């Protein structure tokens, strides 16, 4: 016999979990006792629960498996989970969240740290459970893990009262391996092939479902067979190898000019593994051509036909659907795009690639402008790098400005736009994929949100790299005040911090760059020896970007 809490780590190991992220607390001492010296499950102690949730999120995105976060303390430990779980829910990231809870005999007595944790977390979770008997701890956690991994994926939280964790339970049966569901979709495949055969200007939109299914090669194969341009939904430029000649970039207001134009010209748009939601469309009708036919394939039935009246909606996992679609197209020899339009797309794509690879005229400017900064990153960063972005307009530009050859390589908080996401996510991604460099690209405001996690990287020797785009401002908000409020700046200027010196004070490597040449040198040094590193990059504070213009038009 052992306590229910002590058996949790063994259950996680049986489910294939290798890392648990959290902050220690007295409410879950039994779980921590089980994690102590566990041969299969590594515990990574963060400095706050929001960051720990971001680490679990990044781990899940990089590995394609379950991320686990443990809020060791009831009350404030659990309330700190909210932003991280909301971001995971918006991104459909499978996270098992475990939180300590007040002992059941103290409920509804205004006990120490008592709060209604179910009501608090229900809006930001796929489901919330509270376990009331020791013998139900392991079955509930196993069910929660499977629910998190089932489509549509998302975070599931389990509250575990202290007295329940202390109760003894016998060893249970071994759980089965976690697997995702795969809905049937044969009839829809044949309908899509027929639509491709009758289309003149078809485009495929690869979304987060393509990335999570790791099926970008099937998108490329379909493109090759049909002469079909490829764009991605916002935040998922890495769903397809960016070296493919017909991969144009992200669609929509937050993407590139070329992919937006091609989508607006298309007479058939095939959305694969995408909600076609706000960040990709802003819900603006002119995103698509008048009369264009829309196909939407997604594992989340609630997302189908939700924002757009599509001509064909199919509930299916992107990889399975694409596998059958490519096989059917290859067998039937579906017609290719209209020759003149296809040639125009090829010509524009080649010109865009040439411009993107050209050295900017501002290469010698100090401090750097955005063109020089992103050009330098494209040239200097390792091709296999994983990039985690924060919120903010420089990060939004980065989601389109960088190139990716491996899926997954780009993690963003676009759906929730939460500051403080990038660095914890990069830590989680580094642990999930230790053979690949993991980089957090964020502004100075976002860096201040999670600066304490430098201590986590030091303690656990995680060779993650933080690149700070330092412009001494809350850039997005300052841009709006600049463009729409007559430069009436308030609350948007920040002190100029030396993040390299801060890193050194933590015992980490700290580097500074203010030019293309010094940034190249810093990146080379950062990856010559794999140790935790911060690169403080001084970017031009006069450069401001207003991405949201729709809600501020009345102030012009």
The two three-digit tokens of residue 357, written as one number: 């690879």
Q: Which residues contact 202 (CB under 8 A, 6 or more apart)?
A: 196, 226, 228, 266, 267, 268, 269, 270, 337
Strand, coil or helix: 285: helix
183 pLDDT more than 90: no
Residue 106 pLDDT: 80
Domain of residue 509 covers 360-555
Provide the number of structural domains found in the chain. 3
What are the pLDDT digits (tens) for 330-374? Answer: 998 877 899 999 999 999 999 999 999 999 998 999 999 999 999
Q: Identify whether residues 330 and 416 lie together within a single domain.
A: no
Among the listed residues 407, 433, 61, the one whose alpha carbon sits nearest the alpha carbon of residue 219: 407
Identify each DSSP E strand in 276-381 by its residue range: 293-298, 312-315
177/46: higher pLDDT = 46
174 pLDDT more than 70: no
Domain end position, chosen among 311, 330, 352: 352
Among the listed residues 8, 12, 156, the one whose alpha carbon sits nearest the alpha carbon of residue 92: 156
Report the pLDDT averaged over residues 396-415: 95
Residue 186 pLDDT: 77
What are the pLDDT digits (tens) for 118-163? Answer: 999 999 999 999 999 999 999 999 999 999 999 899 999 999 999 9
Report the pLDDT averaged over residues 39-52: 97
Report the pLDDT averaged over residues 490-519: 97
Q: Identify whether residues 44 and 136 lie together within a single domain.
A: yes
Q: Identify whether residues 390 and 486 lie together within a single domain.
A: yes
Among the listed residues 353, 65, 383, 409, the one whose alpha carbon sits nearest the alpha carbon of residue 216: 409
What are the pLDDT digits (tens) for 2-26? Answer: 899 999 999 999 999 999 999 999 9
Percent of residues, the chain, with pLDDT higher than 70: 97
The answer as to whether 181 is a domain residue is no
The answer as to whether 178 is a domain residue is no
Q: Identify whether residues 140 and 223 lie together within a single domain.
A: no
Angle at alpha carbon of residue 144, lines to 184 and 97, rounded to 5°: 125
**Average pLDDT of the residues of the chain:** 94
Of 173-187, 247-261, 443-457, the range with the lowest mean pLDDT is 173-187
Side-chain half-sphere exposure of 192, counting CA atoms within 13 A: 31
490 pLDDT more than 70: yes
What is the CATH classification number for the domain harbouring 302? 3.40.50.1220
Strand, coil or helix: 528: helix
Q: Identify whether residues 194 and 160 lie together within a single domain.
A: no
Residue 104 pLDDT: 86
Report the pLDDT averaged over residues 476-480: 92
Residue 252 pLDDT: 84
Q: Identify whether residues 38 and 128 lie together within a single domain.
A: yes
- The 8-class DSSP code of residue 473 comes to B
545 pLDDT more than 80: yes
What are the pLDDT digits (tens) for 162-172? Answer: 999 999 998 77
**Residue 536: which pLDDT band, with cuts at 50, 70 and 90?**
very high
Report the pLDDT averaged over residues 34-61: 97
Domain end position, chosen among 111, 139, 169: 169
What are the pLDDT digits (tens) for 255-311? Answer: 999 999 999 999 999 999 999 999 999 999 899 999 999 999 999 888 899 999 999
The answer as to whether 507 is a domain residue is yes
What is the CATH classification number for the domain harbouring 420? 3.40.50.970
Q: Identify whether residues 523 and 375 lie together within a single domain.
A: yes
The answer as to whether 98 is a domain residue is yes
The answer as to whether 474 is a domain residue is yes
Residue 428 pLDDT: 98
Measured distance CA(294)–CA(309) in Å, rounded: 8
Q: Identify whether residues 146 and 194 lie together within a single domain.
A: no
Q: Identify whether residues 319 and 346 lie together within a single domain.
A: yes
Q: Identify whether residues 384 and 532 lie together within a single domain.
A: yes
**Residue 457: which pLDDT band, with cuts at 50, 70 and 90?**
very high
Cβ count near 237 (within 10 Å): 29
Domain end position, chosen among 135, 169, 203: 169
The two three-digit tokens of residue 373, written as one number: 């900064």
173 pLDDT more than 70: no
The answer as to whether 150 is a domain residue is yes
Q: Identify whether residues 155 and 191 lie together within a single domain.
A: no
CA distance to 13, 156, 486, per residue, from 147 (Å): 17, 7, 50
The answer as to whether 177 is a domain residue is no
Q: Identify whether residues 210 and 285 lie together within a single domain.
A: yes
Residue 447 pLDDT: 97
């Amino acid at each position: 016999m052992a306590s229910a809490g002590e058996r949790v780590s063994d259950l996680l190991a049986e489910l294939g979990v290798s890392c648990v992220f959290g902050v220690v607390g007295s409410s879950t001492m039994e779980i921590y006792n089980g994690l102590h010296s566990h041969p299969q499950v590594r515990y990574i102690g963060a400095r706050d629960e929001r960051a720990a949730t971001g680490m679990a999120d990044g781990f899940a995105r990089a590995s394609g498996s379950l991320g686990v976060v443990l809020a060791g303390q009831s009350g404030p430990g659990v309330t700190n989970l909210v932003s991280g779980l909301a971001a995971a829910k918006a991104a459909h990231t499978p996270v098992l969240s475990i939180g300590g809870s007040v002992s059941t005999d103290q409920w509804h007595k205004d006990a120490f740290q008592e709060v209604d944790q179910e009501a608090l977390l229900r809006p930001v979770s796929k489901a919330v459970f509270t376990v009331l008997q020791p013998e139900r701890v392991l079955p509930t956690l196993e069910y929660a893990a499977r629910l998190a991994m089932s489509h549509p994926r998302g975070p599931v939280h389990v509250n575990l009262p202290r007295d329940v964790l202390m109760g003894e339970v016998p060893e249970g049966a071994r759980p089965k391996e976690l697997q995702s569901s795969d809905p049937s979709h044969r009839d829809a495949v044949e309908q899509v092939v027929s639509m491709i055969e009758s289309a003149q200007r078809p485009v495929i939109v690869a979304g987060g479902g393509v990335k999570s299914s790791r099926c970008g090669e099937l998108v490329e194969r379909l493109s090759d067979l049909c002469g079909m341009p490829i764009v991605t939904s916002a935040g998922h430029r890495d769903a397809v190898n960016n070296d493919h000649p017909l991969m144009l970039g992200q669609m929509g207001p937050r993407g590139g000019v070329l992919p937006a134009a091609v989508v607006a010209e298309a007479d058939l748009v095939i959305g694969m593994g995408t909600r076609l939601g706000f960040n990709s469309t802003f819900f603006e009708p002119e995103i698509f051509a008048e009369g264009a036919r829309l196909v939407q394939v997604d594992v989340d039935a609630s997302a189908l036909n939700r924002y757009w009246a599509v001509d064909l909606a199919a509930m299916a996992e992107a990889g399975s659907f694409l596998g059958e679609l490519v096989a059917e197209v290859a067998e039937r020899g579906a017609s290719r795009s209209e020759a003149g339009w296809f040639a125009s797309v090829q010509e524009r794509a080649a010109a865009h690639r040439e411009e993107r690879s050209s050295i900017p005229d501002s290469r010698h400017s100090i401090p750097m402008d955005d063109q020089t900064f992103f050009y330098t990153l494209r040239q200097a960063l390792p091709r296999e790098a994983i990039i985690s972005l924060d919120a903010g307009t420089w990060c939004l530009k980065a989601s389109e400005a960088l190139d990716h050859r491996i899926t997954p390589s780009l993690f963003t908080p676009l759906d929730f736009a939460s500051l403080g996401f990038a660095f914890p996510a990069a830590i989680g991604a580094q642990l999930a994929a230790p053979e690949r460099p993991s980089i957090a690209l964020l502004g100075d405001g976002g860096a201040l949100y999670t600066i304490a996690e430098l201590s986590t990287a030091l303690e656990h020797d995680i060779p993650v790299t933080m690149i700070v785009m330092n412009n001494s401002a809350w850039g997005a908000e300052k841009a709006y005040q600049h463009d729409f409020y007559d430069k009436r700046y308030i609350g948007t200027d920040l002190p100029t911090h030396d993040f390299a010196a801060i890193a050194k004070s933590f015992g980490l490597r700290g580097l500074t760059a203010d030019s293309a040449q010094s940034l190249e040198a810093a990146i080379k040094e950062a990856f010559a020896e794999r140790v935790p590193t911060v690169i403080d990059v001084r970017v031009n504070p006069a450069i401001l970007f207003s991405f949201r213009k729709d809600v501020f038009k009345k102030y012009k």
